[in-house]
Homo-oligomer: A and B are copies of this chain.
């Protein structure tokens, strides 16, 4: 149904971020920094120490600041990277059985939300309404998830009377319940996802 070419979405999103460096060594450092920042932000929230990030990336603090002139740029780059990874994973997962693929992707989505939550607050403070970014992100997300859902529905693994918007809202809502342990979230999610399963119509109650 979707007319968007899923495979192109990640690049579209990536273009929203800061330009990646050209030289091989610079690119290496750039990527080490994003990886280190992702971990650090996930662990300590958006206020993680930039010097600590540089240290983890085994890179000088100067290098960090050259690639990302301020915390915001780095935050944004990490966010975009995460989102791209989430979108890209949809393609990989399509090798699994339909139901498993969808569920796996939704779990991946939950992990992504955790990162996003840490970043979003701070991100909004500065970005305040760079709608283009978030719109693109949303589009990419849907383009990535839609095929998975459709396949699952065609295989009668997922009930027909639902859609991706609804599912994402549900999963998002559960993931965002405040003050819950990860295991609790996972359990609730498990229950809720089970509700998505297709059940053959039954004659009598």
Contact = CB atoms under 8 A, between A and B. Distances in A.
Interface string A109-134: 00000000000010010001100000
A201 interface: no
A179 interface: yes
B129 A179 contact: yes
Tallying the copies of this chain within the complex gives 2
Interface of A is mostly: loop
Interface size class of A (residues with CB under 8 A): under 10
Contact of A121 (B121, B128, B129, B179): B121
A129 to B, nearest CB: 6
A178 B179 CA distance: 25
Nearest to A125: B45
Contacts of A179: 128-129
A128 B180 CA distance: 11
A129 B180 CA distance: 11
Contacts of A121: 121
Nearest to A47: B47
A35 to B, nearest CB: 26
A82 to B, nearest CB: 22
5 contacts: A121-B121, A124-B178, A128-B178, A128-B179, A129-B179
Interface of A: 121, 124, 128-129, 178-179
